[in-house]
Amino acid sequence: MRQLRHRRFTAVVALATLLLTAAPPTVASAGGRPDRQPGYHRVGYFTQWGIYGRAFTIKKLDASGAASRLTHLNYAFGNVSEDGRCYVDGGPGEGDAWADYQRPVPAEESVDGVADAPGQALNGNFGQLAKLKAKHPDLKVLISLGGWSWSTYFSNAARTDASRKAFVASCIDLYLKGNLPGSPGAAAGVFDGVDLDWEWPNWDGEPGNVIRPEDRENFTKLLAEFRRQLDAYGRTTGAHHPLTAFLPANPATMDAGYEGRKIFKYLDFGTVQGYDFHGGWEAVANQQSALRVPAGSPDNPDFSVEVAIDGWLDRGAPRGKLVLGIPFYGRGWTGVTGGGNGLFQPAAGPAPATYEAGYEDYKQLKTLAGNGYTVHRDLRAGHAWLFDGTTFWTYDDPAVVLQKMLYIRRTGLGGAMIWSLDGDDDNATLTKTIGLGLTTR
């Protein structure tokens, strides 16, 4: 009976999405705010390191059909130096120039089937991005700066007018103008814009990050400087160069680090963290990406997609400039006791996984359903989980993703963002699900 309900729910959500994509939304479905841009943004993060253990190449984005479903591709990540500059360094923990632009890509991994020649001006992922854009000319590629590990010195870069000018100029020079170390202009045209992934202004991120109270105001000033210099560069290229930012789900982090409405004056859009609400660092199995706070949640207040989006709306964000983050991975616990379906039960620790305890790609989790694990759903709260009596995984499957696409349409948001594309299966099932749900306004 549970499997029958699962199939019926999936079919109903799919039908609802098809009906919605066939007709434009009304002002009421957009929350009474006709401020949305034409078309939904469909943003995917490509991880630099995904080419190694996961063997996820840029060619797979094309071959799977994922690239044709995206409007923006964010390359993760670019580093920020202690003196506040964009830079690429092959040193441990500082960068991977080999993956970025030096590795000769063999024919079987190349987007166009042509192998890189060793020593040519542009190899590696950057060279493959250029080939991908040639096949998908409407796809915008952005360099994403920072991330969890490389936000250490953002505060230094944003601290003064002079430091902001120098930082922005260095990023445009390295990535948009393509002036790679030793190869001036080699990567010109690969990147169209910049995504700022500062985690977080005036708020704890990775231990060791530089944090200052003035980060809040300086983040806005940094965006203004990026917008000024990107527009100036655009006058020479005849193109608009997008500026986006990754934004937190925690309302307290929003207040500490961001000037609400002001930042959206400079951003094309902001991608909102829609995941990592809970994880194996906690002692209770929980949801990591629920649409709404589930009934019976042990935390009050708690996190959810709705809490995050409402938090930004309450602080003056335009609906059409909020892009919801969707996880292509799950969070897991093992040693779960207390019986039932495992939700909100005590756990011994993070679940064993392929690359990192407590973190598993969707393509691995999908194989567990019916293979010793039962799929559970909370339709009202909008989340799903797997449980085998001991190990618990919270994740987004196609039915949950479709439910979130309906939420995006109903609330008038700007689109969806994926972290990260290498978590999808070889058929790009989740990416295609997003494409289905957000094909048209």
User: Over its length of 441 residues, how does the chain's per-residue pLDDT go in tens digits?
Assistant: 444 444 544 454 444 433 333 333 322 233 333 233 469 999 999 999 999 999 999 999 999 999 999 999 999 999 999 999 999 988 888 999 999 999 999 999 999 999 999 889 999 999 999 999 999 999 999 999 999 999 999 999 999 999 999 999 999 999 999 999 999 999 999 999 999 999 999 999 999 999 999 999 999 999 999 999 999 999 999 999 999 999 999 999 999 999 999 999 999 999 999 999 999 999 999 999 999 999 999 999 999 999 999 999 999 999 999 999 999 999 999 999 999 999 999 999 999 999 999 999 999 999 999 999 999 999 999 999 999 999 999 999 999 999 999 999 999 999 999 999 999 999 999 999 999 999 877
Distance CA(175)–CA(167), nearest Å, equals 12
Report the candidate in 435, 417, 197, 430 with the shortest Cα–Cα distance to residue 325.
417
Q: Is 86 helix (H, G, I), strand (E, B) or coil?
A: strand
Catalytic position from the list 199, 225, 259, 360: 199
User: Where is 218: in which H helix or E strand?
Assistant: helix 215-237
Active site residue 199: yes
Q: Could you give the C-alpha distances from 232 to 126, 223, 235, in angstroms and in order? A: 24, 14, 5
Output the pTM of the full model.
Answer: 0.93
317 and 261 Cβ atoms separated by less than 8 Å: yes
Task: Determine contact, residues 245/263, Cβ cutoff 8 Å.
Answer: yes
Domain ranges of the chain: 2-328+400-437
What percent of the residues of the chain are helix, what percent strand, and what percent coil, each to the nearest 5?
35, 20, 45
Residues 236, 234: Cα–Cα separation, whole Å: 5
Other Cβ atoms closer than 10 A to 246: 26
Quick check: 429 and 401 in contact, CB under 8 A?
no
- The CATH code for residues 2-328+400-437 is 3.20.20.80
